[in-house]
């Protein structure tokens, strides 16, 4: 073989020698001796182009279009279970209905093409410029960048995963090229429109039209289609019902898409001029909303599951998850029945006031499990969850946290002096309108007035022990105790017990008398901390998640020490006396029941929070006309009287029997 090739190698040898770099180059001076010749440069460039082309040819030939569609093209329902393992709900959040391209209006198609890939019908299936930019962003800067053609996006949707890696992008490009040669453009566009994610659990333009506008795709106009096209950039960023920033982005993208349609000749300027008002979508997806109480549970659980299991909205909407909740069916039914009856009674006795009435309720176990919640009367008309709303003040229901802070940290009678212990029998002034003092003297507010606490009904009690003051819900000792302990310590104790920092009021004396605005879930969680001997576990609604039978990693809250066990016992004893003083004979002597009512100085909220059978339940009644403002309104007797409160009535029915 060597002998046969010898004549050819001899002829090529001179050329090879010229291409071979010789350094320093003879016949050159200075820096030129180290620079390759133009022949060497040309040879290197041609060789690199040749090798690259050869690599792409082999890669194209070796890449096959997968036979099976991936999970992004085969959606499933998510199934929710009660704590006893029986099915609670099967959501239809994942919805997709394929539509033939002929049934999708041309303006709807071109709204998508104008927004995503106006050269779709003329490109080879990939965008070399966009692909280069995407690869550069992925490799060079570690994030993702758009630029894919619709063919590439369709390939990613139905054949590949959503991982942003160089290998995935390269495979996507090869399959897109091959698919573009084998499938008509109309078929690719049809597949893309039927498999793309539009948010709200919907895949495909038909379900998106129903989810956002309550109509079929063939009823959409160009303006509505332009908005739906914006969702392809990321529904979490462009659904205007989520927040104000989303709406601004959606409006900007909607206007840009309509203008692009005009520019490429797919929408007349005259028709464009008729679309000056943003086509507001429906506030909720009507496809899955049944309005039942279970909808509130599903919403609460879904939010928690995605956060605790690190599941993206898009992954969750693909379905296939089995979600085992902490909700107790019997307790949920009892709580719902109790609130529903109270609502009906309120409408009967005070129809005018009841129009703006709201009832939040939640039950939480000492280990953090959310046992039951009441979210609202009808999820279709009131989407927000009343059990999770932070809208009204805690009032005197906050006093146990001040008591716990004082018992835990002691008090300071001098500025920066050592702490002096206090106990249940420590005596404070329980008279009404007692001025609040600091080590330097009276506490003055910004208007130059002395701050004074007030008791319910402006009643005075004289000198009273802290234990008795909590049992009788006397405010004035606790406003002073909060100042003596230190408001930062009061806040720290309340947050350690379960209240959110975002719900805490300003760090002024009224913090101790309940200026915080916790939700019913958080108040129940805080009282559950005392029942758990001072350990707090963050409230949670999901105990286990599987997907198609395989376990999904779930971050379960761990308990931590909030206050000492002795402090928790002393708080519980005072709450037990509070319950028996206000409601003698309501429970057997052997029953472990503790709780107290909570009222606000301006009569905008009525609470009852108590623990029975090791479960803490919080009830709040308030009035708010959401059509006018978010300001709480006076209850004006709707919540009953302190001796016969509606909140306590709901609580007692929900936890019955006591003992």
Q: Compute the mean pLDDT over every residue in the chain, rounded to the nearest whole number.
A: 84
The continuous run of DSSP H or E covering 128 comes out as helix 128-136
Q: In the predicted model, is pLDDT for residue 138 greater than 80?
A: no
Q: In the predicted model, is pLDDT for residue 570 greater than 90?
A: yes
Q: Is residue 52 part of a domain?
A: no
**Model pLDDT, residue 144:** 40
pTM score above 0.85: no
Taking the C-alpha atoms of residue 207 and residue 35, their distance in angstroms, rounded to an integer, is 63
Calculate the CA dihedral of residues 360, 366, 371, 372 and round it to 10 degrees. -10
* Those residues with Cβ within 8 angstroms of residue 62's Cβ, 6 or more apart along the chain or in another chain: none
**Model pLDDT, residue 139:** 45
Q: Do residues 538 and 615 both lie within one domain?
A: yes
Q: Do residues 443 and 412 both lie within one domain?
A: yes
Scan for tokens 């104008």, then name that residue.
114
Contact 575, 582 (CB under 8 A): no
Mean pLDDT, residues 545-549: 84
Mean pLDDT, residues 56-72: 49
Domain count, the chain: 3
Q: Is residue 224 part of a domain?
A: yes
Q: Do residues 653 and 530 both lie within one domain?
A: yes
Q: Do residues 505 and 574 both lie within one domain?
A: no
Q: Which residue has the higher pLDDT, 119 or 10?
A: 119
| Long-range contacts, stretch 108-111, CB < 8 angstroms, 24+ apart | 108/205, 108/217, 108/220, 108/222, 108/225, 108/228, 109/189, 109/193, 110/261, 110/264, 110/266, 110/267, 111/222, 111/225, 111/226, 111/228, 111/229, 111/257, 111/258, 111/261
Q: Which of 452, 483, 516 is the last residue of a domain?
A: 516
pLDDT in tens, 604-623: 999 999 999 899 999 999 99
Mean pLDDT, residues 13-31: 62
Q: Is residue 565 part of a domain?
A: yes
Confidence class for position 13, pLDDT limits 50, 70, 90: low
Tally Cβ neighbours within 10 Å of residue 565.
12
Q: Which domain holds residue 591?
A: 328-393+518-658
pLDDT in tens, 155-198: 777 665 444 445 556 566 767 677 766 778 898 888 888 888 88
**Model pLDDT, residue 448:** 80
Q: Is residue 59 part of a domain?
A: no
Q: In the predicted model, is pLDDT for residue 364 greater than 90?
A: yes
Q: In the predicted model, is pLDDT for residue 29 greater than 70?
A: no
Confidence class for position 153, pLDDT limits 50, 70, 90: confident
Q: Which of 449, 484, 516 is the last residue of a domain?
A: 516
Q: Do residues 522 and 609 both lie within one domain?
A: yes
**Model pLDDT, residue 141:** 44
Q: Do residues 181 and 105 both lie within one domain?
A: yes
**Model pLDDT, residue 156:** 74
Q: In the predicted model, is pLDDT for residue 59 greater than 50?
A: no
Q: Is residue 247 part of a domain?
A: yes
Q: In the predicted model, is pLDDT for residue 533 greater than 60?
A: yes
Q: Is residue 66 part of a domain?
A: no
Please report the DSSP string for 560-616 in residue order. EE-S-HHHHHHHHHHHHHHHHHHSTTSS-TT--EEEEEEE-TTS-EEEEEEEETTEE
Mean pLDDT, residues 73-95: 75
Mean pLDDT, residues 353-372: 95
Q: Residue 246 maps to which CATH number?
A: 1.10.3810.10
Taking the C-alpha atoms of residue 193 and residue 200, their distance in angstroms, rounded to an integer, is 16
Strands in 593-599's sheet, in edge-to-edge order, are: 370-374, 357-364, 615-623, 605-612, 593-599
**Model pLDDT, residue 162:** 47
Taking the C-alpha atoms of residue 425 and residue 619, their distance in angstroms, rounded to an integer, is 30
Q: Which of 501, 516, 531 is the last residue of a domain?
A: 516
**Model pLDDT, residue 19:** 56
Q: What are phi and psi of 407, to 5 degrees?
A: -65, -35
Lowest mean pLDDT among 13-22, 342-351, 417-426: 13-22
Q: In the predicted model, is pLDDT for residue 60 greater than 70?
A: no
Q: Do residues 643 and 561 both lie within one domain?
A: yes
**Model pLDDT, residue 379:** 77
Contact 363, 331 (CB under 8 A): yes
Confidence class for position 151, pLDDT limits 50, 70, 90: confident
Q: Which residue has the higher pLDDT, 153 or 358?
A: 358
Calculate the CA dihedral of residues 241, 242, 245, 251 and round it to 10 degrees. -30
Q: Do residues 246 and 264 both lie within one domain?
A: yes
> Which residues partner with 547 through β-bridges?
321, 550
Q: Residue 590 maps to which CATH number?
A: 3.40.710.10
Mean pLDDT, residues 13-25: 61
Contact 69, 159 (CB under 8 A): yes
Q: Is residue 209 part of a domain?
A: yes
**Model pLDDT, residue 145:** 41
**Model pLDDT, residue 140:** 45
Taking the C-alpha atoms of residue 193 and residue 157, their distance in angstroms, rounded to an integer, is 11
Q: Is residue 37 part of a domain?
A: no
Calculate the CA dihedral of residues 204, 207, 209, 213 and round it to 10 degrees. -150
Q: In the predicted model, is pLDDT for residue 12 greater than 50?
A: yes
Q: In the predicted model, is pLDDT for residue 463 greater than 80?
A: yes
Q: Do residues 512 and 525 both lie within one domain?
A: no
Q: Do residues 417 and 364 both lie within one domain?
A: no
**Model pLDDT, residue 62:** 47
Q: Do residues 375 and 523 both lie within one domain?
A: yes
Q: Do residues 557 and 585 both lie within one domain?
A: yes
């Amino acid at each position: 073989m060597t002998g046969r090739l010898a004549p050819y190698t001899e002829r090529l040898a001179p050329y090879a020698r010229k291409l071979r770099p010789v350094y320093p180059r003879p016949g050159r001076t200075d820096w030129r001796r180290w620079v390759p010749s133009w022949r060497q440069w040309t040879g290197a460039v041609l060789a690199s182009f040749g090798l690259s082309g050869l690599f792409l040819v082999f890669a194209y030939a070796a890449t096959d279009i997968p036979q099976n569609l991936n999970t992004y093209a085969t959606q499933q329902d998510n199934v929710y279970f009660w704590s006893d393992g029986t099915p609670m709900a099967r959501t239809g959040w994942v919805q997709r209905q394929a539509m033939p391209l002929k049934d999708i209006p041309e303006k709807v198609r071109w709204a998508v093409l104008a927004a995503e890939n106006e050269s779709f019908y003329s490109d080879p299936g990939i965008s070399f410029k966009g692909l280069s930019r995407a690869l550069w962003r992925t490799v060079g800067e570690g994030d993702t960048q758009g630029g894919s053609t619709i063919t590439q996006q369709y390939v990613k949707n139905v054949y590949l995963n959503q991982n942003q890696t160089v290998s995935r992008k390269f495979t996507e490009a090869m399959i897109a090229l091959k698919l573009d040669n084998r499938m008509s453009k109309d078929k690719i566009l049809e597949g893309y429109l039927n498999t793309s994610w539009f948010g709200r659990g919907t895949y495909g333009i038909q379900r998106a039209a129903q989810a956002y506008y309550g109509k079929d795709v063939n009823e959409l106009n160009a303006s509505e289609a332009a908005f739906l096209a914006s969702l392809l950039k990321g529904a979490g960023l462009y659904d205007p019902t989520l927040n104000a920033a989303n709406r601004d982005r959606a409006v900007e993208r909607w206007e840009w898409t309509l203008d692009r349609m005009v520019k490429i000749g797919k929408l007349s300027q005259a028709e464009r001029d008729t679309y000056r008002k943003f086509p507001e979508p429906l506030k909720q997806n009507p496809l899955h909303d049944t309005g039942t109480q279970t909808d509130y549970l599903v919403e609460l659980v879904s939010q928690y599951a995605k956060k605790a299991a690190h599941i993206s909205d898009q992954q969750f909407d693909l379905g296939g998850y089995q979600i085992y909740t902490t909700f107790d069916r019997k307790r949920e039914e009892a709580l719902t029945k109790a609130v529903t009856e109270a609502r009906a009674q309120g409408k009967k006795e005070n129809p005018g006031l009841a129009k703006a009435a709201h009832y939040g309720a939640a039950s939480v176990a000492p280990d953090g499990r959310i046992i039951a919640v009441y979210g609202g009367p009808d999820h279709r008309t009131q989407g927000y969850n009343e059990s999770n709303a932070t809208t009204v003040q805690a009032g005197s229901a906050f006093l146990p946290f001040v008591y716990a802070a004082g018992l835990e940290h002691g008090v300071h009678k001098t500025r920066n002096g050592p702490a002096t212990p206090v106990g249940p029998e420590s005596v404070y002034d329980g008279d009404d309108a007692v001025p609040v003092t600091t080590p330097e003297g009276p506490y003055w507010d910004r208007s130059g007035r002395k701050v004074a606490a007030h008791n319910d009904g402006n009643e005075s009690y004289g000198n009273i022990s802290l234990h008795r003051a909590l049992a009788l819900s006397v405010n004035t000792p606790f406003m002073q105790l909060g100042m003596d302990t230190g408001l930062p310590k009061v806040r720290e104790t309340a947050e350690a017990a379960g209240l959110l920092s975002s719900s805490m009021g300003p760090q002024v004396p009224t913090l101790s008398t309940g200026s915080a605005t916790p939700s019913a879930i958080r108040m129940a969680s805080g009282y559950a901390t005392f029942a758990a001997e001072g350990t707090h576990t963050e409230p949670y609604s999901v105990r286990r998640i599987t997907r198609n039978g395989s376990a999904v990693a779930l971050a379960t809250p761990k308990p931590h020490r909030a206050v000492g066990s002795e402090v928790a016992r002393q708080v519980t004893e005072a709450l037990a006396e509070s319950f028996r003083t206000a409601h003698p004979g309501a429970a057997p002597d052997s029953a472990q029941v503790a709780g107290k009512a909570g009222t606000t100085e301006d009569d905008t909220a009525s609470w009852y929070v108590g623990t029975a059978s090791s479960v803490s339940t919080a009830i709040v009644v308030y009035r708010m006309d959401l059509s006018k403002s978010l300001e709480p309104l006076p209850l004006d007797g709707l919540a009953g009287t302190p001796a016969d409160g509606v909140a306590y009535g709901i609580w007692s029915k929900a936890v019955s029997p006591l003992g």
